Amino acid sequence: MRSFVAFFVLFIAACQNNDSQLPTPPEGATPKFKVMDFDAPEQCASCHPDHYNEWRSSMHAYAFVDPVFFAMHERGQRETGGKLDQFCTKCHSPIASLTGETPPFFNRNDLSPISQHGVQCDVCHTITKINKTLNADFELTPGNTKYGPIANPAPNNFHQSSFNAMFDRSEFCGACHEVVNGLGAKLEETFTEWVRATFAGMSVDCQDCHMPTYAGQAATGGPQRDRVHRHYFAGVDVPLVDFPDAALQRQMAEKLLQSSADLIVASPEAARAGDTLKIAVTVENNHVGHSLPSGVTAERQMWIAVVARDQSGQILYQSGQLDANGDLMDHHSALNSSADPALTVFRQLMYDETGKEVLFFWQAKTVENNLIPTFGSKTALYKFVLLQNLTGEINLEVTLRFRTLPPYFLRELGLDGLVAKVPIVDMAKVTRRVSIN
C-alpha cells in the first residue's frame, strides 16, 4: 500500500477544524490573477478536440451553469451577509474567484466568458500544487506551460508541457471533493472515504472510475499512446437544464450507479395466512472506492423501495414509495409526514448549533451520516401481517433507488420547475415469490 495514504489520513485530521472556512479577502484586495492570464477552453479544442468535446458535456463545465448552485449561492450570501464569500465559487469557478470577478454578490451575466466556463481546461492543467485536500486549497501557475499525467509529452508549437504524477492520484481530486464549513461540519468527505477504502483494500484512484483510459492520441497529430484519459468526469450528477450531450451524461451516471451496489434479499419461501412475514434487505458496497452515496450527501437520497403484492396484483405492503409531490414519506413530506416508519434512506442530515435539522450547508454545525462505507453493508428489516384469507403466493419486489436532489429541497430554493427533471435511477432490483400454505 502506498505510503502517502497514511500521511493524508493524519493530514486530514489536522486540517479539519473550525478555521477551515475559506478566508474573506480584505476589501479592495488585489486579485491574484487577471482573466487574461488564462486560456479559454476553445483554444484547446483545435489540438485536443476529443478532450474538449468530452469536457464540454461534463459536470465540471456545468459547475457554473447549474441553477441549483446559483440559487444556493445567492441564498447563502444573503443569509450570511456576504460572509460566505468565495466558499462556493472557489471550486465551481476557480478562475472567477482568483481574478476577483465573484465578490459575494455578483451578476453572473457580467462575468468574462472564461470565468463562466467553470472548471475548465486551464484550471486543472495549471495546478502545480495541492496545499490541502480540503476546500479548494491548491495553487495555479497559469502561463505557457500546461501540466498533466503524460511522462513524455510530445513537443508542439502552442505550449510547453510538463509531467506531474499527482494528476493520476486521488489527492488531485480531493482538493475540491473534501469540504468543511466554517463551523467545522464535514459537508463532503469523498477523499476521506477514499483514504479509508484504501486501508480496507480498495486499490483504485478516483481517475480509474471517473476518468477511464483508452488507447489513442492525446492531441491531434500526436503519438499513439496506451493510456489517454477520458474527460467526461462521469459521476452521479446530471444536467437539469439544456446542456451539451446531457443524455450521454445521464447514461453514464446510470451505468455507474447500476454497477455500484449489491442488493441481497432474505425472505421465506413459504408462509401461512395470518403469519407475520419478515424480509431482510442488505445493501453491500463492494465495488466503489468511497461510501454510498458520496459527495454532497445532504442533498442526495439512496433508498430501499419494497412492494409486496398478492397474485392478483393487490398491494399488501409497501415502503420507500413517493407521495404526490414526489417526496419520500418521512418528516420532509408535506403531504404524508412520517407515513412510512420503515423507510430506509442512506444520506446525510445536518443540524445547527441548537440541534435543529437544517437544509443548507452554511447553517450546519454537526452532521449525521447514514452511508455505507467501502466493503461495508447495512441491513433493513421489514415485516407485515398476512391476511387470514390470503391464498396462492406473494410477489416481492425490492429496489435500491437513487436521486441527486429531493423535491422538497428544490422547492425550498424556489426551483419547483426542476423537480420533474431529476432522474430516479434504479441501482439494483430483486424479485422473490413466497408461497402461501
What's the per-residue H, E or C state across the chain?
CCCHHHHHHHHHHHHCCCCCCCCCCCCCCCCCCCHHHCCCHHHHHCCCHHHHHHHHCCHHHHCCCCHHHHHHHHHHHHHHCCCCCCCCHHHHCHHHHHCCCCCCCCCHHHCCHHHHCCCCHHHHCCEEEEEECCCCEEEECCCCEEEECCCCCCCCCCCEEEECHHHHCHHHHHCCCCEECCCCCEEECHHHHHHHHHHHCCCCCHHHHHCCEEEEECCCCCCEEEEEECCCCCCCCCCCCCCCCHHHHHHHHHHHHHCCCEEEEECCCEECCCCEEEEEEEEEECCCCCCECCCCCCCCEEEEEEEEEECCCCEEEEECCECCCCCECCCCCCCCCCCCCCCCEECEEEECCCCCEECCHHHCCEEEECCECCCEEEEEEEEEECCCCCCCEEEEEEEEEEECCCHHHHHHCCCHHHHHHCCCEEEEEEEEEEEEC
pLDDT at 27 over 60: no
Q: What would the pLDDT profile of 182-198 be if each residue is shown by its tens digit? A: 999 999 999 999 999 99
Q: What is the mean pLDDT of the chain?
A: 93
User: Average of pLDDT values for 248-263?
Assistant: 98
Q: What would the pLDDT profile of 60-85 be if each residue is shown by its tens digit? A: 999 999 999 999 999 999 999 999 99
User: Average of pLDDT values for 213-223?
Assistant: 97
Question: What was the pLDDT predicted at 29?
Answer: 64
pLDDT at 357 over 70: yes
Question: What was the pLDDT predicted at 22?
Answer: 38
The pTM score is 0.92
User: Average of pLDDT values for 93-100?
Assistant: 97
pLDDT class of 13 with cuts at 50, 70, 90: very low
Question: What was the pLDDT predicted at 30?
Answer: 85
Q: What would the pLDDT profile of 295-339 be if each residue is shown by its tens digit? A: 999 999 999 999 999 999 999 999 999 999 999 999 999 999 989
Q: Which domains does the chain have, with CATH numbers?
A: 4-255 (no CATH), 261-436 (2.60.40.10)
pLDDT at 23 over 60: no
Percentage of the chain modeled with pLDDT above 70? 93
